[in-house]
Amino acid sequence: MRSLLEQTLKYDLKAKNEWKTVINKHKGKDPGLKDLISHYRSNLGILLPNHDLQRNFNAVFKNPGTKDSLDLITHHTNITSATPEMLKSLAKAGLFAFLQALLN
């Protein structure tokens, strides 16, 4: 799910001709998920002109909890592991709808 989120944000930035801006800001290096979310947060009205999509973004990423949960599941399996309930909870909290909107 974390990889899908990161790749979807990259796809959307490329589709909106924003990818070069992000890459230049990071001196040619591939930005991490935290950087991508930060770029969206800083440019919300431009990248997500739909008010409902902005609200969805804010609901999912207003605090770092969603990203941190995905990071723990992906990078620190000794601390936590994904359960079906956890993944369903993240999806139902708006992550699935957000990704679906960007990919459509």
Count of domains forming the chain: 1
The whole-number pLDDT of residue 65 equals: 78
pLDDT higher than threshold 80 for residue 64: no
Q: Per residue in 84-94, pLDDT tens?
A: 898 888 888 89
Q: Per residue in 9-37, pLDDT tens?
A: 999 999 999 999 999 999 999 999 999 99
Residue-level length of the chain: 104
3-state helix/strand/coil string of 45-85: HHHCCCHHHHHHHHHHHCCCHHHHHHHHHHHCCCCCCCCHH
- Which has the higher per-residue pLDDT, 1 or 35? 35
pLDDT higher than threshold 90 for residue 5: yes
User: Domain of 90?
Assistant: 2-103
